[in-house]
């Protein structure tokens, strides 16, 4: 596991609200040791920030591409940001 931290801002579009998407992301993040947050957007998307090792962050993004049962992720936009040293994972 790498000791370098990365931060990714990710926007998941499709049927991602009302299907426990944010809570599922939180549970996966906590299991992987990823810090950050997930929030519903007014446009129906879910926006999230993931901070952790490059491998675990990529794994979390891939898990979220599948989404929970009932979700239909149609588009995933990922952008790199400078890590802020977040602790824990919250649902906003």
The string of pLDDT tens digits covering residues 57-91 is 999 999 999 999 999 999 999 999 999 999 999 99
Q: Alpha-carbon distance 80 to 91, whole Å?
A: 20
| Residue 40 annotated to the active site | yes
Cβ contacts of 70 within 8 Å, gap of 6 or more: 15, 19, 20
Q: Alpha-carbon distance 82 to 79, whole Å?
A: 10
Q: Which residue has the higher pLDDT, 3 or 6?
A: 6
Cβ contacts of 15 within 8 Å, gap of 6 or more: 70, 71, 72, 73, 74
pTM of the model: 0.93
What is the average pLDDT across 30-58? Answer: 98
Domains and CATH numbers, the chain: 6-83 (3.30.70.100)
pLDDT of residue 3: 61
Active-site option among 26, 40, 41, 75: 40
- Which tens digit of pLDDT belongs to each residue from 7-36? 999 999 999 999 999 999 999 999 999 999
Active-site option among 7, 8, 22, 26: 22
Neighbours of 28 (CB within 10 A): 20
For 65, the 3-state DSSP assignment is helix
Averaged pLDDT of the chain: 95
């Amino acid at each position: 596991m790498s000791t370098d931290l990365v931060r990714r801002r990710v926007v998941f579009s499709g049927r991602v609200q009302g299907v426990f998407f944010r809570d599922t992301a939180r549970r996966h993040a906590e299991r992987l040791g990823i810090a950050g947050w997930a929030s519903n957007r007014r446009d129906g998307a879910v926006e999230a920030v993931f901070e952790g090792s490059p491998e675990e962050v990529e794994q979390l993004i891939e898990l979220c591409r599948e989404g929970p049962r009932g979700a239909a992720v149609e588009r995933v936009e990922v952008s790199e940001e400078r890590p802020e040293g977040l602790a824990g994972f919250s649902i906003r």
